[in-house]
Structure 1
Amino acid sequence: MAEAHQAVAFQFTITPEGMDLQLSYQALHQIYRSGLRSWKKRISRMQNRVIKGVYPASPSSWLFVVIAILATMYMRSDPSMGLIAKIQHVLMCTGRPLKTNQTIFQTMLSALVFSTLLWLSVILALRFCLKLLLSYHRWMFEKHGRTSTTTKVWVTLLRLLSGRKPLLYSYQTSLPHLPVPTIKDTLSRYLESVQPLLTGPGFERMTGLANQFESSLGNRLQRYLKLKALWATNYVSDWWEEYIYLRSRGPIMVNSNYYGMDFLYVTPTSVQAARAGNTITALLLYRRKVNREELKPVEIRSTLSDTLVQFQCERMFNTTRTPGIETDVLQHWQDSEFVAVYHRGRFFRLWVYQAGRLLSPREIQSQVQRILDDPSPPQPGEEKLGALTAGDRVAWSEVRKRHFCAGVNRRSLDVIERAAFFVTLDEEDQGMRGDDPAGNLDRYAKSLLHGKCYDRWFDKSFSIIVYKNGKNGLNAEHSWADAPTVAHLWEYTLATDAFQLGYTEDGHCKGEVDRSLPHPQRLLWDIPSEVQAQVSSSLAVAQQLADDVDCHVFPFRDFGKGRIKKLRISPDAFIQLSLQLAYYRDRGGFCLTYEASMTRLFREGRTETVRSCSNESCDFVKALAGGEEEEHCRQLFRRAAEKHQNLYRLAMTGDGIDRHLFCLYVVSKYLGVDSPFLKEVLSEPWRLSTSQTPLQQMELFDLKNNPEFISLGGGFGPVADDGYGVSYIIVGEDMINFHVSSKHSCSGTVIDRSKPIVGCSVSSRQKIAFSSFPSTFFLPLWR
């Protein structure tokens, strides 16, 4: 093959006349450039480690301290109060008299050692102060526009300490550890959360179980949990990752993985290879920023400079979830110089670097086009091989161990797993188009969620899907990071693709093309009949799961957060209360509701649950559904909104309910003891699972001047078989996008209905969709 010959740097043959050595200077130059890039990356990482290690000080501050100490000594003043002399005494290796120049040298060396120790001590003190400042969260509980004097002083001190531009991971070691709530507070908040969902006798029984747990087993489990919190960076995250994600033996497709969509109204180009070229380039530019730590840490409120931990970015690229019998393992490699590509049943390795240089978008487009033009058929068993990652994990683990640990299969699987990410060149057209835009959006969501069940590699940290008409999207594995991290990546990718890289007038990528680039490499497989049988079995499991999922995407344009904020109401609380009202009118009752909240104010923090169904929200819904007076409904609404905001703040500041109970349950399993209370709590179904996709990089999208570049956000599958999964993104001031999922197998959760929902007046539409509740349910709040 041509690409194999080009990779050879030298050849030699032995003849009777001697050895004939032939050098390829072009190949040697490529090796030199590649090695140079590798060393530059190493030096950059070492430099970043030093900068992070001394933050919030700077490396140059060491020189300032040294000069200051030497200057004071020159003026015959001892700033060390005798410590420099003691250091000099320790450094003296002999009792013999020293010459003048030796004495000066030892004095200078002693001053240098003292200055370094003083500098390190100041850094530790500053870090301690920064951690104390970042442990202050009372500002979250203050009403908007009513900042206390304490918070103002806190803001000033925090800005003084974090004034220098931080790197991506600069705050990691300064963030506080997640605190362990008290048993009494957690149980009290839990009972309050389930009170509106239980009848009188049921609530009394649950109260008795909680009291029995607190007085007996609870305190014992709490002691073990506090012991873990003393030495663990985060007492929740490692167990959450392992037991909630990696130990799940069912399919991760639909059940765990989630998706992200392209722009709603705009497709920057209809050329599939060009869209793939720019998308791959933008993702690799983001990886470069992550490696160089050039991304600024995400802030909750820029006015308060409260910074979120970004440790999840470390495993964003070059990461794969590998299956195991009892638990999966996340494997992460150093930067890969290639991506894995799937097209028409074939797998390819696409090199994106040449001699240490990132290929231009036009060059990547050219390479992708070579894959699209490749007429070769799939090898036997290759086309649907990806179904192994969509089925049961145990079956995939056994097949992988027997048939993918050596030979050609091992080498090809290594390419996929070590790739920066996975790319699918889909043969379908997707997006909001044609005569049925709403239905096409729903099909677009289902395609991103599961595709054909074999044309995605669901084990990769994330996979990019580029459709035939130029639309794209993303499917992400959930164990390594939460949605806000992936949303940050996808925002950057879409903005860089559309506004920075751009396209020519005929829809192609910009840049020059090196025609001598080696072709993408076909991956070779040897798939025996036993593996093909397991592929068919896994595909059947995945197909049944995919066929059962119903998805609906609803762009709501009647109003957005601009109008909501005029009422001085949190947009998130507004939407969550509307969801409670929608579910009540849909099912005639209430259910346990999950809303994801981040705990990234703490080191290695991930998520916490906000139990959105509260006594206050139920009172409001019942009053509105019962037709009570408008003023009374407004009062109940504001009370419920404030309650929801308080629950959200408690979750963010480490006083949530569910992660604490979850960890207590894990401890009980380690100790081999059973708790009827914990067992019942952990088995309660979340029939309404909700999550907000945040817009974090508003500076990338100028929605006022480019209103057509509206993000659709993303979604996920339902958590419970008889429940709904609802994801929403608040876009700009006048739009909210909803993604709703359920299962066809449950007749009570049909998303698209052809009859009115209970208690709801019929709108002008012929069909009322569950996800179209805003247009029907929001309006009474404005009357």
Structure 2
Amino acid sequence: MIIGVGMAKPCGLTKPSHLVKPVSATRVAGRYLTHQQGLPQLPVPPLQQTCERYIMALEPIVEVDELKYTKELVEDFQKAGGVGERLQRGLEKRACNTENWLSEWWVRLAYLEYRMPVVVHSSPGLVLPHMNFSDKQGQIRFAAKLIAGVLDFKTMIDNETLPVEYLGGKPLCMNQYYEVLSSCRVPGLKRDSVVNHARSSPSPKHIVVVNNSQFFVLDVYNSDGTPLTVDQLSLQLKRICSSSVAKCTEPVGILTTQHRDSWGRAYINLIKDKTNKESVDAIQRSIFTLCLDGAMPAVSEEMYRSSAAVQMLHGGGTQWNSGNRWFDKTLQFIIGEDGTCGANYEHAPAEGPPIVALIDHVVEYTRKPEMVQPPMVPLPSPKKLHFSITPEIKRDIEEAKQNMNKLAQDLDIRVIMFGHFGKNIPKAYKMSPDAFIQMALQLAYYRMYQRCCATYESASLRMFRLGRTDTIRSTSSASAAFVKSFDDPNKQNAEKVDLMEKAVKAHRSYTNMAINGQAIDRHLLGLKMQAVDDKLSIPDLFKDAAYAKALHYQLSTSQVPSKTDCVMCFGPVVPNGYGVCYNPMNNHINFAVSSFNSCEETNAADLAQAVEDALLDMRKLLEQNPRAKL
């Protein structure tokens, strides 16, 4: 249930092209608030509409007799004067009294109360193209430019001058941008929390750099408030690297990879010590974390991006870089000595698109010709953070190491660049690229398993104030009819094309419904939560096997479009499922596919190949059919 890094917007967000000009340093007081207050509130969909659409969503994934039973439960739930109506009234009342009836519940349930490790199970990684350096010197120079680029973006956040994004001509909620810097997740025993220091006074002026599993505070602003130059940052990073040459034997950062309850207990123990508490505070308060990784073992060009994805998602286990992280940090940039670059982010404060917009800006910034830099002024050396390791903490670290290594071995991830075509082909046939790709995923899965499964695609609710995500259910009766007919020799091509067009249209229609706040998943969750809040027994509808099946997403997918040729990646959300993230460019599509090795039924490479075949076969079908006019 920790799903949804992305945004289902086939044509991508409109991102102003002027993002990388020198940023305005004048604060526009109150602009952000005025914009936010102008956004509509998230609606509560009509009860009967959601009930009808719920039955339709179940049709392709449950058996006939199961569906008959569920229909009876739904009838009973929504009858006049019944429990459904009572819960709906409660939800409508909640919507009147809160900025967003869903967001607090969602963050709590999907993230803060979710107890699996954030690594792989919740936090996405982002793989950038291979950068043009392959030694320590190049790594340090690039890292310095990257820091400067983030600080440049931060100026827009601080001054409330971020260009507002639009979706279909409507302004989007910009709140997530204000949540990703100077924030951090904090483990608890049953529920975590997120601290955000961006608006605290004084606001943080440092980042934390991790090298060889050792943590350093690097002040990134001069005493007059100006950001350090690239030269100054390079010098400070060199100092950090030269004072942490050997790998730390007790990597405290590895504790953040643990199951949340285990980490919660270890955390209480860790911060009893004053030095440890100060060090942890410095990490939590930092603007972001920068992880400087050693070079990775050489792999073939074909496997390079998959190997990089491993580094971005979990660091490759203790023998590599899993201890060179603080996974609770909202934003971690990762730069390898061999030019491998990317990021990892903790999912509770934000979805993928704001992170990608920030990274697009930073990558463009690093490519700008360097300005003539002012003469260097002496700077105090970065401060190393110290940890006092008791025998008990040492035991916790050892346990975390073992568990992390198991998880690293269990995750299989394949990143492929599908180079035959990109958004251009579906667009030429007047089809939504996102819907076209989703139908290829449906076809690939059906060919492998001879059945359809519950599929999650994240839809952005940012048209609404504090909006997060809802679910686009990509498996529909139309998609099922299409995939079942595709390889049937008794079906004519014209009929197959017709079914493809219907499936693509059905997906497009569900997407529009979802981004306009009319999808079913979050509404059903809200009704269930309302029952909990009202201290009522959970209605039978939510105890039904069909409801569990509907939420068991064997395909958890997300489109995260970007200007940079990158791809986001995340783990499966169920043990026998796949995580699929994609970035459609004009002439190619980047895919990241993940699965667990411990599940015999799933195989990331097989699904990646099946998706590639499905995309090519769908194009071939369109080309062979005179009706599908270009």
Tell me the residue number matched to 1:631. 494
Q: How does 1:188-337 map to 2 (within 5 A)?
A: 188-215=52-79, 216-263=82-129, 267=132, 271-301=138-168, 304=169, 306-334=170-198, 335-337=203-205
Structure 1 position 619 matched with structure 2 position 477: no
CA deviation digits over 1:84-130, x for unaligned, max 9?
xxxxxxxxxxxxxxxxxxxxxxxxxxxxxxxxxxxxxxxxxxxxxxx
Per the TM alignment, residue 269 of structure 1 is displaced from its structure 2 partner at its CA by 7.4
Structure 1 position 350 matched with structure 2 position 218: yes
1:685 maps to a residue whose letter is H
Which of 511, 528, 549 is equivalent to 2:390? 528
Structure-2 separation of matches of 1:251 and 1:280:
28
Q: How does 1:22-171 map to 2 (within 5 A)?
A: 47-49=28-30, 52=31, 168=32, 170-171=34-35
Structure-2 separation of matches of 1:679 and 1:267:
54
Structure-1 separation of matches of 2:360 and 2:78:
45
Tell me the residue number matched to 2:576. 722
CA deviation digits over 1:411-453, x for unaligned, max 9?
11111111111111101248xxx66112222111111100033
Per the TM alignment, residue 580 of structure 1 is displaced from its structure 2 partner at its CA by 0.5
Tell me the residue number matched to 2:605. 752
What is the percentage of aligned positions where both structures have the same residue? 29
Structure-2 separation of matches of 1:263 and 1:380:
31
Per the TM alignment, residue 593 of structure 1 is displaced from its structure 2 partner at its CA by 0.6
Structure-2 separation of matches of 1:495 and 1:288:
16
Q: Check whether the contact 2:213–2:325 (CA below 8 A) recurs between aligned residues.
A: no
2:541 aligns to what SS in structure 1?
helix
Q: Check whether the contact 2:439–2:504 (CA below 8 A) recurs between aligned residues.
A: yes
Per the TM alignment, residue 272 of structure 1 is displaced from its structure 2 partner at its CA by 0.7
Tell me the residue number matched to 1:437. 301
Alignment TM-score, normalising by the size of structure 1: 0.71
Structure-1 separation of matches of 2:160 and 2:118:
31
Structure-2 separation of matches of 1:252 and 1:646:
33
Q: Check whether the contact 2:176–2:349 (CA below 8 A) recurs between aligned residues.
A: yes
Which of 514, 520, 524 is equivalent to 1:657? 520
Structure-2 separation of matches of 1:774 and 1:664:
38
Tell me the residue number matched to 2:381. 519
1:673 maps to a residue whose letter is S
Per the TM alignment, residue 324 of structure 1 is displaced from its structure 2 partner at its CA by 0.8
Structure-2 separation of matches of 1:675 and 1:544:
39
Which of 415, 418, 426 is equivalent to 1:556? 418
Per the TM alignment, residue 664 of structure 1 is displaced from its structure 2 partner at its CA by 1.1
Which of 578, 601, 605 is equivalent to 2:463? 601
| Structure with bigger RCO (C-alpha 8 Å, 6+ apart) | 2
2:518 aligns to what SS in structure 1?
coil
2:59 aligns to what SS in structure 1?
helix
Q: Check whether the contact 2:553–2:574 (CA below 8 A) recurs between aligned residues.
A: yes
Q: Check whether the contact 1:346–1:377 (CA below 8 A) recurs between aligned residues.
A: no
2:29 aligns to what SS in structure 1?
helix
Structure-2 separation of matches of 1:588 and 1:173:
49
Structure-1 separation of matches of 2:133 and 2:616:
30
Tell me the residue number matched to 2:40. 176
Tell me the residue number matched to 2:11. none
The 1:472–1:742 alpha-carbon spacing in structure 2 relative to 1, beyond 3 Å, is same
Tell me the residue number matched to 2:208. 340
Structure-2 separation of matches of 1:345 and 1:326:
28
Q: How does 1:405-424 map to 2 (within 5 A)?
A: 405-424=272-291
1:749 aligns to what SS in structure 2?
coil
2:576 maps to a residue whose letter is D
Q: Check whether the contact 2:273–2:388 (CA below 8 A) recurs between aligned residues.
A: no
The 1:366–1:612 alpha-carbon spacing in structure 2 relative to 1, beyond 3 Å, is same
Q: Which has the larger radius of gyration?
A: 1
Per the TM alignment, residue 471 of structure 1 is displaced from its structure 2 partner at its CA by 2.8
Alignment TM-score, normalising by the size of structure 2: 0.88
Q: Check whether the contact 1:553–1:771 (CA below 8 A) recurs between aligned residues.
A: no
Q: Check whether the contact 2:531–2:538 (CA below 8 A) recurs between aligned residues.
A: yes
The 1:246–1:546 alpha-carbon spacing in structure 2 relative to 1, beyond 3 Å, is same
Per the TM alignment, residue 290 of structure 1 is displaced from its structure 2 partner at its CA by 0.7
Structure-2 separation of matches of 1:728 and 1:420:
28
Tell me the residue number matched to 1:369. 238
Give the structure with the higher percent helix: 1
The 1:415–1:435 alpha-carbon spacing in structure 2 relative to 1, beyond 3 Å, is closer
Per the TM alignment, residue 776 of structure 1 is displaced from its structure 2 partner at its CA by 5.0
Structure-2 separation of matches of 1:235 and 1:435:
48
Q: Check whether the contact 2:576–2:602 (CA below 8 A) recurs between aligned residues.
A: yes
Tell me the residue number matched to 1:79. none
Structure-2 separation of matches of 1:314 and 1:724:
31
Structure-2 separation of matches of 1:323 and 1:435:
36
Q: How many residues align?
A: 581
The 1:614–1:678 alpha-carbon spacing in structure 2 relative to 1, beyond 3 Å, is same
Tell me the residue number matched to 2:22. none
Per the TM alignment, residue 339 of structure 1 is displaced from its structure 2 partner at its CA by 0.8
Per the TM alignment, residue 405 of structure 1 is displaced from its structure 2 partner at its CA by 4.1
Per the TM alignment, residue 539 of structure 1 is displaced from its structure 2 partner at its CA by 2.4
Tell me the residue number matched to 1:462. 331
CA deviation digits over 1:699-730, x for unaligned, max 9?
xxxxxxxxxxx512211111111111111111
Per the TM alignment, residue 279 of structure 1 is displaced from its structure 2 partner at its CA by 0.7
Structure 1 position 742 matched with structure 2 position 595: yes
**Deviating runs (4+, > 6 A) in structure 1?**
none
Per the TM alignment, residue 472 of structure 1 is displaced from its structure 2 partner at its CA by 1.4
Which ranges in structure 2 are unaligned for 5 or more consecutive residues?
1-24, 625-630
Which of 523, 526, 529 is equivalent to 1:666? 529
Q: Check whether the contact 1:554–1:771 (CA below 8 A) recurs between aligned residues.
A: no
1:624 maps to a residue whose letter is F
The 1:282–1:519 alpha-carbon spacing in structure 2 relative to 1, beyond 3 Å, is same
Structure 1 position 426 matched with structure 2 position 288: no
Per the TM alignment, residue 537 of structure 1 is displaced from its structure 2 partner at its CA by 1.3
Per the TM alignment, residue 562 of structure 1 is displaced from its structure 2 partner at its CA by 1.5
The 1:376–1:467 alpha-carbon spacing in structure 2 relative to 1, beyond 3 Å, is closer
1:358 aligns to what SS in structure 2?
coil
2:166 aligns to what SS in structure 1?
coil
Which of 626, 640, 649 is equivalent to 2:503? 640
Q: Check whether the contact 1:169–1:310 (CA below 8 A) recurs between aligned residues.
A: no
Q: Check whether the contact 2:418–2:612 (CA below 8 A) recurs between aligned residues.
A: no
Structure-2 separation of matches of 1:770 and 1:574:
11
Tell me the residue number matched to 2:343. 474
Per the TM alignment, residue 470 of structure 1 is displaced from its structure 2 partner at its CA by 2.9
Which of 428, 438, 441 is equivalent to 1:579? 441
The 1:354–1:331 alpha-carbon spacing in structure 2 relative to 1, beyond 3 Å, is same
1:594 aligns to what SS in structure 2?
strand
Structure-2 separation of matches of 1:771 and 1:426:
32
2:543 aligns to what SS in structure 1?
helix
Structure-2 separation of matches of 1:437 and 1:378:
28
Which ranges in structure 1 are unaligned for 5 or more consecutive residues?
1-42, 53-167, 504-508, 699-709, 758-766
Structure-1 separation of matches of 2:212 and 2:498:
58
Which of 261, 271, 274 is equivalent to 1:404? 271
Structure-2 separation of matches of 1:630 and 1:365:
61
Q: Check whether the contact 2:271–2:277 (CA below 8 A) recurs between aligned residues.
A: yes
Per the TM alignment, residue 380 of structure 1 is displaced from its structure 2 partner at its CA by 6.3
Structure-1 separation of matches of 2:595 and 2:248:
36
Q: Check whether the contact 1:343–1:424 (CA below 8 A) recurs between aligned residues.
A: yes
Structure-2 separation of matches of 1:341 and 1:262:
19
The 1:590–1:224 alpha-carbon spacing in structure 2 relative to 1, beyond 3 Å, is same
